């Protein structure tokens, strides 16, 4: 991530031709069509976004599914944040905060 790209949302397993929208505090910041997981690497896409305010809500929508989390708001937390979204076998969309690990 560059200095301007402080938020990463990894679209992981379970995506299959999905329309995916990323929102920050309810405002659309990214939209993709036909998002499909490449199972050789377990990733459909990684979306890099400019910084969002501490405590902002990040939401991922895929079809009629939605998941959201708040950005850390505690002073001293890292400015760069990484989330991972995935669709489980039962169709549930999850969004989790990811600890520091290499981005693909």
Q: Facing residues of 47 across strands?
A: 9
What is the reported pTM?
0.84
* C-beta of residue 58 within 8 angstroms of C-beta of residue 83: yes
Burial class (CB within 10 angstroms; exposed 0-12, middle 13-18, buried 19+) of 54: middle
Query: What per-residue confidence (pLDDT) applies to 55?
Result: 83
User: What does R_g of the chain's alpha carbons equal in angstroms?
Assistant: 13
Taking residues 3-15, report their average pLDDT: 82
User: What length does the chain have?
Assistant: 104
End-to-end CA separation in angstroms for the chain: 11
Residue-wise pLDDT for 69-93, tens only, equals 988 776 655 567 889 999 999 999 9
Residue-wise pLDDT for 16-62, tens only, equals 999 999 999 999 999 999 999 999 999 999 999 887 777 889 999 99
């Amino acid at each position: 991530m560059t200095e301007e790209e402080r938020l990463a949302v990894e679209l992981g397993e379970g995506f299959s031709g999905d329309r995916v929208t990323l929102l920050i505090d309810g405002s659309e910041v990214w939209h993709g069509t036909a998002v499909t997981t490449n199972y050789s690497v377990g990733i459909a896409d990684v979306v890099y976004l400019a910084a969002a305010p501490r405590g902002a809500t990040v939401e991922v929508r895929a079809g009629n599914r939605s998941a959201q989390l708040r950005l850390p708001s505690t002073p001293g937390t890292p400015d760069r944040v990484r989330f991972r979204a995935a669709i489980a076998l039962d169709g549930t969309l999850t969004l989790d905060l990811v600890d520091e690990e290499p981005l693909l």
